[in-house]
A and B are shown apart, each in its own frame.
Chain A
């Protein structure tokens, strides 16, 4: 699995500063180490959906996806894919280890791991897109709990319908944090019409005022995918 240095630097708050050789070595070493520890634990299921006023219902389940943004996201979809991915506990243990050995190393290692989980999720998304194509569907971009007004509190439900704990060891804490830490859950809509090419602007995002990426003069995964 290739880990793009540009992405790693983005997570480290890089903004065209001069990278000294020692930092460069640390990044290269960490990339190799993370690559050596990578496991692709993932699970997804496809659900038929029905729209119920402002909510999206996953058929044959008790789950309603609530919020204007997820509604907009799946507005034209007939089905949706619910996806969960994790790098597992070994990466978490390594991050804990490095945080005691060298904070700068753990910071870089952490950024490499974040890049890895994104890259792995991208590859699974490719698989889903291929499936969709075969079945004459177009896919929406992937949307995760916590984006816009789609609440994180949906995490336990999502994990439950995927049996994510049993299958890939992924859980949500009472505060809806995913554990192991390098994990993603996401929803991808499947629709008959091509999705509109409109680029979602940062201003429309509900996180506009608190966005970490914007604070750093950057932008999120969400926007990157759409560019």
Chain B
């Protein structure tokens, strides 16, 4: 079935609400609507019939909640519900089409919740396979508010059936889904994944969705569908009320139809009268052809970046090449360090982050997926997935919640064959490098030829040119001075000839020459004036950012020079503190001033050895702060700030030890874990910072930690002390189970426990060795165990 063709000539009508009809037929509150397929098939049949009589071209099966999670306590299996639902709908359908209705799972995906992307995929996969086998004609994924869940559902649909896939999401009055996705982001991601139609359903009425529909139509290349509620739901006396009549509803839909939608149905509050009214009001009209904007876009789940709309910075720092610290962090699986690199770049002004973790010693697929999940759990910058291995790229692109850039493909046949299918399947942007079997060409013209080859081949795979970014490749001015200008010329030619966007790793130009920053900055300015859209660079180098800010003023991108003025006027005003009495490191820590602590530590390291600084400054300062906390002179945020200040001192010391080749100064290894089922880990994080400051090596297993992980790590690492945290009464039982399992496995170690609902008595009862009333006490316990 070609949906685009079908909707180009006439409107296609879906049915209205199943729930509204079922409630009218006596469905109780909290009762499982899907059970009606088996208990009252005649009621379902009648509902379908009424919608067909009203003029629906497609009817929707009564399977909104028919997934294995929602049906886990039901006497009916997913198979029974879906097959019966499809069979009733087919019986009623006459010549009409049957859409398998698939609603949200009812659990939140990681990181918001605990359901993994893979498990979500499997849940949808089961529905898809049964639905197709039962004879459904279309798969309708609807009422989704989480883009990540939509992605899992679409992949499950596309990989396990050949049916057309329609996907609608639910938006709030603020113009976003409940998890923050904008209409544009939804279109870029879902369309990229290959849906046949997309749009909005539920939550709002036709009038309220109008501005959102306008935004969708501006960018969508596939048919757009709407299934609004019968007006804006209002909570009156504890009941949800919809206030539109079929007549009002159809009038508002008519206004929407003029914008370019082509598939129409109804959601909550609508019934056959609504569908009939809409169908009647549109009977002499045809869908309006739209003219969507063709932009190069990348998206996180909540943010769309348009490349070409000003200069977009791609942060290059998550790349182990030449970075000892990052290499070490990746090898040790110290993801916090990687995250801190991501955060630094975001704060410095990066728009997109390149993630490259290519190290021969690590499992690149595992690490790449883990890092992507971690970064997307805390920030909204789109990612550029970078690897020499196509398998790593696919794993990264698959787990990514958004529309990423793939770095990269090149003009070699082999490269294109490996990468283009991935870019097409997941709708990703891809960077095309202007090199091929013969290497990097010397002239701009030859690079243009390779670009042409890349674009042509991409087209054969169905990848639009908007999704291709060209990297004209810069060589070092020290070795290939003549070719620097060729790169710049190539940028201009590629843009003029093909209208594609360009990227460039600008800092390569300055390898091997003194004053690299100066050369890079100047080259960056030149590249921008030749038309570079997105430099791949280090955003922490201030000169680079300054160049871009200036460029935005001079090219009229920074309207009224507002951003520039705000930023640089402030800098002039920056006051230098005078006559400040110099503080000791101890005082700095007590006052909690991070930057000063690092500076002061560096200064002390010139005359003192690290151990002396730790023992004579850091630990006494922490002890003082700890005492003040116990005596209630200071309170928790102050204690933590001092601890973080010590941490920044420690960083300097550790760095010093690394450069002088010294061994580390750990006083003992401790496991910390927030137990299974518990996802509140702030308490554990506080304990971690304090213990680390006292020189203990912490193996932080995170939150929601399976019992086996604690036991396995304790065994493997020969751990003497384990700290467990649980915040809820419901998860304390998992704490007890964890302790039991530690004992059963004869691990010779002590366990301390803490958390809001725990008491000393309770800690004893569940078999813990120590009860930790606050974070500070964990230090006392650890010192006792390790005899310090």
Contact = CB atoms under 8 A, between A and B. Distances in A.
State whether these chains interact.
yes
Contacts of B637: 12, 23, 26-27, 104, 107-108
Interface stretch (A70-78, A115-123, A165-173, A192-200): A165-173
B239 interface: yes
Nearest to B686: A103
Interface string B742-777: 000000000000001111011000000000010000
Given A14-B635, A44-B238, A169-B179, A100 B339 contact: yes
A107 B640 contact: yes
Contact of B641 (A88, A104, A165, A173): A104
Given A44-B235, A62-B31, A165-B106, A100 B644 contact: no
Interface string A124-135: 000010010001
A107 B728 contact: no
B340 interface: yes
A41 B380 CA distance: 22
A100 B644 CA distance: 11
A65 B643 CA distance: 45
A112 B728 CA distance: 20
Secondary structure type dominating chain B contacts:
loop
Nearest to A160: B30
A22 B179 contact: no
B759 A96 contact: no
Contact of A46 (B238, B593, B643): B238
A42 B179 CA distance: 15
B678 A177 contact: yes
A13 B730 contact: no
Interface stretch (B109-117, B245-253, B429-437): B109-117
B655 to A, nearest CB: 20
Contacts of B734: 175
B634 interface: yes
Interface string B659-681: 00000000000000000011110
Interface in A185-227: 209-210, 212, 215
B32 to A, nearest CB: 10
Nearest to B339: A100
A60 B238 contact: no
Interface in B338-382: 339-340, 343, 377-380
B636 interface: yes
B238 A18 contact: no
Given A39-B174, A175-B730, A210-B757, A45 B114 contact: no
A177 B728 contact: yes
Contacts of A175: 677-678, 728, 730-731, 734
Contact of A62 (B30, B104, B114, B143): B30
A99 B683 CA distance: 11
A5 to B, nearest CB: 13
B180 A99 contact: no
Contact of A99 (B685, B730, B731): B685
A113 to B, nearest CB: 12
A169 B145 contact: yes
A28 interface: no
A177 B30 CA distance: 20
A100 B378 contact: yes
A186 B643 CA distance: 37
Interface residues of B, number: 71
Interface in B65-91: none
Interface in B101-126: 103-104, 106-108, 111-114
B682 interface: yes
Given A45-B239, A97-B379, A99-B682, A173 B178 contact: no
Given A166-B202, A173-B113, A210-B758, A60 B29 contact: yes
B20 to A, nearest CB: 13
A157 interface: yes
B322 interface: no
A6 to B, nearest CB: 14
Contacts of B170: 166
Interface centre among A81, A90, A110, A165 (most CB of B within 10 A): A165
Contacts of A131: 237-238
Interface in A75-106: 81, 88-90, 92-93, 96-97, 99-104, 106
Contacts of A62: 28, 30-31
Given A20-B591, A100-B340, A179 B678 contact: no
A202 to B, nearest CB: 15
Nearest to A108: B637
A41 B173 CA distance: 11
Nearest to B636: A13
A52 interface: no
Contacts of A180: 108, 112
Nearest to B336: A100
B343 A101 contact: yes
A33 to B, nearest CB: 15
B638 interface: yes
B530 to A, nearest CB: 36
B178 A89 contact: yes
A146 interface: yes
Interface string B220-237: 000000000000000101
B633 interface: yes
B178 A169 contact: yes
A171 B378 contact: no
Contacts of A209: 759, 761
Given A81-B238, A152-B730, A23 B641 contact: yes
B730 A176 contact: yes
Nearest to B759: A210
A149 to B, nearest CB: 11
A210 B762 contact: yes
Interface in B466-504: none
Contact of B679 (A99, A106, A177): A177
B107 A171 contact: yes
A60 B730 contact: no
Given A60-B29, A106-B682, A12 B641 contact: no
A181 to B, nearest CB: 7
A161 to B, nearest CB: 4
B689 interface: yes
5 closest A-B pairs (Cβ-Cβ)? A46-B238, A169-B178, A175-B677, A104-B641, A104-B640
5 contacts: A107-B682, A166-B202, A171-B113, A175-B728, A177-B678
Given A103-B689, A171-B106, A179-B114, 5 more contacts: A22-B592, A27-B637, A166-B103, A177-B679, A215-B773
